[in-house]
Amino acid sequence: MINIKINGQPIQAEPGKTILQVAKEHDVHIPSLCYHKDLNPTGNCRMCVVDVKGGRTLQAACVTPVWEGMEIETNTEKVMQDRKLTLELMLANHPQDCLTCDVAGDCELQDLAYEYKAEVPAWGAKGTRYAVDSDPNPFIRVDMNKCILCRRCESACAEIQVRDVWGVSSRGFDSVMVAGAGVPMLEARCESCGQCVAYCPTGALSNKMNYGVARAHQVRKVTTTCSYCGVGCQFDLQVKDNKVIGVHSNPNAPVNGMALCVKGRYGYDYIHHPDRLVKPKVRRYLLEGKQKSDIRETIFDTRKSNIELSNVGSPWAWVETEWDKALDIVAKKVAETRAKFGADSMGFLTSAKCLNEENYLMNKLARQVIGTNNIDHCARL
Amino acid sequence: MTNKHIVHKPIPPEIQECADKHGGSRETALEVLKEIQTLHSALTADSVTDAARALKLPPHHLYGMATFYSMLSFEERKKVLRVCDGPVCWLKRASGQSSVTSDQLVSEWQNKIGNDFSVERTSCLGLCDRAPAVLVDDEQAGPVDVRDAKKVCEGWRGVPTDYSKPRKGEARVMMSLAGKIDPDSIEDALANGVYEGLKNAIRKTPDEVISEVEVSGLQGRGGAGFPVGRKWRFVASEKRTPRYIICNADESEPLIFKDRVLMDTNPHQLIEGITIAGYACGASEAWIYIRGEYEYQARRLENATEQAKSKNLLGENVLGSGFSFNIHVHRGAGAYICGEETALIESLEGKRGEPRLRPPYPPQFGFRGQPTAVNNVETFCAVPHILKNGAEWWKSLSNYTTPGTKMYMVLGHVKKPGLFEAPFGLTLRQVIEEFGGGMVKGSKFKFALCGGAAGTISGKSILDVPIDYSSAQKGVSLGAGAFLICDQSVSAVAMLRELLHFFAAESCGKCTPCRVGTWRALEILDRMTAGKGQKGDVDELKTLADLMQVSSFCGLGQSVAIPMKSALALFGEEFEQK
């Protein structure tokens, strides 16, 4: 351990840690924008500058390691003024549309502007430099006018998703984030995981599916586990008026952290889809207590007359029913089959969308109730 | 779900061939991009993507580079004429006629020279001794005016400067053979004592060589004046190998052209200096990172390394000493920031030339993450003389506390602008009167831009301050040794506008204060030079300068404040009146 001082207060710090990390551990607030704990720090935005005694310039806390005897001032007048000015330079080229912006209330730039009372300078906001909603990606909305070039999207894409879609083009004031060689994201190997959106501190990258549906304070967060596969990623469902309107990363998720795949992050629209089955359906002939052999003839009839098998009137039609009724039919058929052809005539295939407990029960059903070892799981494929 | 937007198509054979030819590694990305540009007369999103696939890199890496370096372009062009937009060329033009903006200049040239050429502006070409200068594809030309357009088309390239005769009072060491030998002949060089320093060096141990350089007190000539011996000691004491030497020949600072002259007049002197550094630091390879605009000098250096190899002064087992060393020449592609040593290393590794986080510094973590010594051309050129004549001799060259000689450039409104070599401790008055031949007729000294674009704007009060690496605190910086002398006709506001125009064009865009600060300061100064200054402008310029100085990521942003602050302090009234 080494001894440092932050704002005059003596602190024992672990060598190798940065000023920002040590400050955070000791509840000293230093603002940051381009820094994120999951990503390699870059020192781009200069919001976290602090005064280190003896330094010719201010130091960026996110990238400066602590050393023995270091004396740090985090909120001198000069430091506060420079942070405010840096913010103003960012705001000057940022649209003043917080009133209608989708991420207002969930925007790190907005929070800092509030904290530092930074206004958009009178000379700023000279119009729209880039096309709004400029990328055809079906899930991710791109508005580079709001970008502050923190480059978190680049790091997230490279370090977490390892797709390397985002990069910086041009230089100086003309710098802008681009996908691949300045092409639409999907042409630049993007798999629409949305990590870039999750790490974007502003509204430059946002979600297209629920754009304009709700502000951060209007939604209830429900932490849940993804139902798509067995990894067990956690995330926060965004619920408004009892409807799931989106998925946000939950930074405290034990398995996945902020990372999600396209299915977990954007595959939520089945929840309220009108085609979703919420009650069981069975073939009409089963409901009527008939055997397949009884109605075999109708197949040939329908084929001859070009009638759809599932027409409402057809014995093959799917009819909505109660769970008890449906399960009775299944149980009866299973018992019959087992009695007639033996247990090993049957096989069980379970799903990765089921819980572990459900898969365990299926296993019990196959081996103990039915008496066969013919059980497998889709995740083996 | 398969991404329907990715349709597999094979890499075009010519691009694959180009990547294979250069070795297919990331470090060759810049060469590959340049070659594809020549092949297709422009880059396209497709060709950049294909090149990235051939080099097994994500496309944004190459696209980021292609849009970063000013010599790479997505616009189709046959021949390119780059018009120098540096302060010296600006001053030359401004004195002839009223101020011309770079856009006007480009369109004037375009009208005169016809559509065979694509005309574009470029930051200082390093041809200040031949101002006003242009670059015709990769051929340097100057002095040429718009009126010479037709002659330029026909192949006229102006007149190169003759450096064979020293000025009165000069003390030539590095320039001693300038104009006296054929720079492309190693026999000539050997007959005149070049490589004697190397022969002396390899008779010593590497440690003794470093000690000799340490004793000599040689300071880095790039502008910061870091002790060379100490830097080499850092590199040599790192346990990891291989270690590398990098020669910074990316001379992009406006007003500075000394390195070009040194490479042009005596390339073997540089090769010798780098080899001595390699021996001292225990390095195996060196790169000369030369700016893309110096194609002619790059070829000359390549030729010189080949000649040195043929004489066993480079390559395996140099002069039977058991020390093996190679030097490669790497061309940049137009980016001022690549003169910053960590940006240079990034660029050499085939990336955008953006500065790295420091620490770790290059002696610990440099090229390919290995211990690396980065020094300026002039520094390396001084080394052979120290090894040949001894550290004490080097110290005796100067009566001043800073030992040795230095290349100086005096430009602007003096009778004899140009380059000379002299000991340290000169005052600006000496530079103007003794070496520059005095002010031109009718001119009165108003201010000087000292050191380079990132130097102080200094007025009369400092005319008698001896100049060295620490005199910036007294109001006059040495930088890389250039002084642009301006008379009463030059407006400090207009000069500062030119400088900010340069910085805004060359800022890499990594950090906020420099990216937006330079742009905003230029916006204000543009307005001021048009006589439309507003209340609060001067205060805002001061605030921006303060911010950039302490909050920027690298030296570029931090030093923009030097000319801004000194000009505002000296000519505050002039700024207020605009």
Q: Look at residue A381 and tell me whether its pLDDT is greater than 60.
A: no
| CB-defined contacts A:B, below 8 A | 151
Cβ–Cβ below 8 Å for B551 and A58: yes
The chain A residue lying nearest B50, using CA atoms, is: A181
Cβ–Cβ below 8 Å for A43 and B511: yes
In a domain, A84, yes or no: no
Architecture of domain B186-396: 3-Layer(aba) Sandwich (3.40)
In a domain, A337, yes or no: yes
Mean pLDDT confidence for B398-415: 94
In this structure, what token pair is assigned to residue B156?
Answer: 């006229």
Q: For chain B, say whether A313 makes contact (Cβ under 8 Å).
A: no
Measured between beta carbons, the chain B residues lying within 8 angstroms of A85 are: 513, 543-544, 547
As assigned by CATH, the class of the B492-577 domain is: mainly alpha
Segment 121-150 of chain A within 8 Å of chain B by CB: 123, 148-149
Best CA proximity match to B557, nearest among B510, B522, B493: B510
Measured between beta carbons, the chain A residues lying within 8 angstroms of B558 are: 57
Measured between beta carbons, the chain B residues lying within 8 angstroms of A58 are: 550-551
Cβ–Cβ below 8 Å for A173 and B515: yes
In a domain, A99, yes or no: no
Where do the H-state alpha helices sit in B311-451? 341-348, 377-389, 391-396, 428-430
The residues, ordered by sequence, that sit 6+ positions from B337 with a Cβ below 8 Å of its Cβ are A171, B343, B353, B354, B355, B506, B507, B508, B554, B556
Burial of A89 (0-12, 13-18, 19+ CB in 10 A): buried
As assigned by CATH, the class of the B79-153 domain is: alpha beta
Mean pLDDT confidence for A35-50: 96
Cβ–Cβ below 8 Å for B553 and A44: yes
Which of B358, B551, B556 should be substituted to probe chain A, the one whose Cβ sees the most A Cβ atoms within 10 Å? B551
In a domain, A52, yes or no: yes
Q: Look at residue A346 and tell me whether its pLDDT is greater than 80.
A: yes
Which residue did the predictor score with more confidence, B467 or A125?
A: B467
Which of B6, B508, B510 should be substituted to probe chain A, the one whose Cβ sees the most A Cβ atoms within 10 Å? B510
Q: How confident is the model at residue B543 (pLDDT cuts 50, 70, 90)?
A: very high
pLDDT tens column, B329-357 = 999 999 999 999 999 999 999 999 999 99
Question: Could you give the CA distance from residue B32 to residue B17 in angstroms, rounded to a whole number?
Answer: 10
Measured between beta carbons, the chain B residues lying within 8 angstroms of A89 are: 512-513, 516-517, 520
The chain A residue lying nearest B544, using CA atoms, is: A85
- Single-letter amino acid code for the residue at A158: A
φ/ψ of B210, rounded to 5, equals -60, -45
Q: Look at residue A266 and tell me whether its pLDDT is greater than 50.
A: yes
The Cβ of residue A320 has, within 10 Å, a number of other Cβ atoms equal to 11
pLDDT tens column, B110-121 = 999 988 899 999
The DSSP symbol for B173 reads: S
CB burial of B97-113 (b: ≥16 within 10 Å; e: otherwise) equals eeeeebeebbebbbebb
Does one domain contain both A134 and A238? yes
Q: How confident is the model at residue A306 (pLDDT cuts 50, 70, 90)?
A: low
Best CA proximity match to B52, nearest among B76, B16, B22: B16
Report the SS3 class of residue A71.
strand
pLDDT of residue B2: 58
Which member of A93, A171, A262 has the closest CB to residue B508? A171
pLDDT of residue A50: 97
> Which residue's structure tokens are 């070039």?
A149
Mean pLDDT confidence for B43-53: 95
Q: How confident is the model at residue A305 (pLDDT cuts 50, 70, 90)?
A: low
Nearest-Cα distance to chain A for B508, in Å, is 5
Report the SS3 class of residue B299.
helix
Does one domain contain both A141 and A241? yes
Report the SS3 class of residue B456.
strand
Does one domain contain both A288 and A310? yes
ipTM: 0.92
Cis before B143? omega within 30: yes
As assigned by CATH, the class of the B405-487 domain is: alpha beta
pLDDT of residue A123: 85
Cβ–Cβ below 8 Å for A180 and B59: yes
Nearest-Cα distance to chain B for A346, in Å, is 31
Question: Could you give the CA distance from residue B68 to residue A10 in angstroms, rounded to a whole number?
Answer: 45
Quote the percentage of chain B above a pLDDT of 90.
90
Measured between beta carbons, the chain B residues lying within 8 angstroms of A46 are: 511-513, 551-553
Q: Look at residue B316 and tell me whether its pLDDT is greater than 50.
A: yes
In a domain, A196, yes or no: yes
pLDDT of residue A293: 81
Q: Look at residue B122 and tell me whether its pLDDT is greater than 80.
A: yes
The residues, ordered by sequence, that sit 6+ positions from A6 with a Cβ below 8 Å of its Cβ are A19, A22, A23, A26, A28, A72, A74
| Largest separation between any pair of C-alpha atoms in chain A | 95
The chain B residue lying nearest A65, using CA atoms, is: B359
pLDDT tens column, A27-40 = 999 999 999 999 99
Region of poorest pLDDT, from A40-49, B191-200, B203-212, B470-479 = B470-479
Q: Which domain holds residue A325?
A: 277-341
In a domain, A94, yes or no: no
Q: For chain B, say whether A320 makes contact (Cβ under 8 Å).
A: no
Q: Number of structural domains, chain A?
A: 4
Does one domain contain both A158 and A226? yes
Which member of A43, A82, A179 has the closest CB to residue B553? A43
Cβ–Cβ below 8 Å for A169 and B64: yes
Q: How confident is the model at residue A294 (pLDDT cuts 50, 70, 90)?
A: confident
Question: Could you give the CA distance from residue A22 to residue A72 in angstroms, rounded to a whole number?
Answer: 11
The DSSP symbol for A217 reads: G
Best CA proximity match to A35, nearest among A11, A15, A53, A61: A61
Which member of A43, A178, A191 has the closest CB to residue B60? A178
Which of B37, B547, B553 should be substituted to probe chain A, the one whose Cβ sees the most A Cβ atoms within 10 Å? B547
Quote the percentage of chain A above a pLDDT of 90.
80
Q: For chain B, say whether A120 makes contact (Cβ under 8 Å).
A: no
pLDDT tens column, A312-340 = 677 888 899 999 999 999 999 999 999 99
Question: Could you give the CA distance from residue A371 to residue A327 in angstroms, rounded to a whole number?
Answer: 19
Distance, C-alpha B437 to centroid of its chain: 26
Report the SS3 class of residue B117.
strand
pLDDT of residue A258: 96
Does one domain contain both A297 and A246? no
The chain B residue lying nearest A52, using CA atoms, is: B550
Nearest-Cα distance to chain A for B167, in Å, is 39
Which member of B63, B511, B515 has the closest CB to residue A180? B63
Q: Within 13 Å of residue A171, how many CA atoms lie on the same side as its CB?
A: 24
Nearest-Cα distance to chain B for A121, in Å, is 11
Question: Could you give the CA distance from residue B405 to residue A58 in angstroms, rounded to a whole number?
Answer: 35
Which member of B52, B507, B544 has the closest CB to residue A171? B507
> Which residue's structure tokens are 């919420």?
A278
Cβ–Cβ below 8 Å for B515 and A175: yes
Report the SS3 class of residue A327.
helix
Specify the pTM: 0.92
**CATH 3.40.50.11540-classified regions of chain B:** 186-396
Q: Look at residue B476 and tell me whether its pLDDT is greater than 90.
A: yes
Q: Are B549 and B521 in contact (CB under 8 A)?
A: no
Q: Look at residue B410 and tell me whether its pLDDT is greater than 60.
A: yes
Segment 162-221 of chain A within 8 Å of chain B by CB: 164-175, 178-184, 186-191
Nearest-Cα distance to chain A for B511, in Å, is 5
Measured between beta carbons, the chain B residues lying within 8 angstroms of A123 are: 520, 523
Measured between beta carbons, the chain A residues lying within 8 angstroms of B68 are: 169-171
Q: Look at residue A309 and tell me whether its pLDDT is greater than 70.
A: no
Does one domain contain both A261 and A140? yes
Q: Read off the CATH number of the domain in which A14 is found.
A: 3.10.20.740
Does one domain contain both A354 and A328? no
Q: Read off the CATH number of the domain in which A262 is found.
A: 3.30.70.20
In a domain, A123, yes or no: no
CA–CA–CA angle A190, A194, A198 (5° rounding): 140
φ/ψ of A342, rounded to 5, equals 90, 160
pLDDT tens column, B498-519 = 999 999 999 999 999 999 999 9
Which member of A46, A78, A191 has the closest CB to residue B513? A46
Does one domain contain both A147 and A226? yes
Measured between beta carbons, the chain B residues lying within 8 angstroms of A78 are: 550
pLDDT of residue B238: 95
Determine how β-strand A205-207 pairs with β-strand A176-179.
unpaired
Nearest-Cα distance to chain A for B63, in Å, is 5
Q: How confident is the model at residue B95 (pLDDT cuts 50, 70, 90)?
A: low
Which member of A82, A172, A262 has the closest CB to residue B505? A172
Percent helix / strand / coil, chain A, rounded to 5: 30, 20, 50
The chain B residue lying nearest A174, using CA atoms, is: B509
Region of poorest pLDDT, from A233-237, A353-357, B201-205, B365-369 = A353-357
Q: How confident is the model at residue A304 (pLDDT cuts 50, 70, 90)?
A: low
pLDDT tens column, B168-205 = 999 999 999 999 999 999 999 999 999 999 999 999 99
Q: Look at residue B1 and tell me whether its pLDDT is greater than 50.
A: no
H or E segment and range at residue B244 = strand B243-249
pLDDT of residue A122: 84
Does one domain contain both A135 and A208? yes
The chain B residue lying nearest A62, using CA atoms, is: B357
Which member of B49, B511, B544 has the closest CB to residue A181? B49
Measured between beta carbons, the chain A residues lying within 8 angstroms of B63 are: 167, 169, 178, 180-182
Does one domain contain both A136 and A234? yes
Report the SS3 class of residue A86.
helix
A75, A94, A120: which is the final residue of a domain?
Answer: A75
Does one domain contain both A336 and A298? yes
Cβ–Cβ below 8 Å for A49 and B550: yes
> Which residue's structure tokens are 């607030």?
A29
The DSSP symbol for A365 reads: I
**CATH 1.20.1440.230-classified regions of chain B:** 492-577
In a domain, A227, yes or no: yes
Does one domain contain both A211 and A294? no
End-to-end CA separation in angstroms for chain A: 51
Which of B40, B515, B522, B539 should be substituted to probe chain A, the one whose Cβ sees the most A Cβ atoms within 10 Å? B515
- Give the strand order in the sheet containing A71-73: A9-13, A2-6, A71-73, A49-52, A59-60
Which of A89, A137, A193 should be substituted to probe chain B, the one whose Cβ sees the most B Cβ atoms within 10 Å? A89
Which member of B46, B60, B516 has the closest CB to residue A167? B60
The chain B residue lying nearest A42, using CA atoms, is: B357
The DSSP symbol for B466 reads: P
Which member of A45, A82, A149 has the closest CB to residue B509? A149
Question: Could you give the CA distance from residue B86 to residue B484 in angstroms, rounded to a whole number?
Answer: 12
Q: Are B325 and B279 in contact (CB under 8 A)?
A: yes
Q: Are A18 and A10 in contact (CB under 8 A)?
A: no
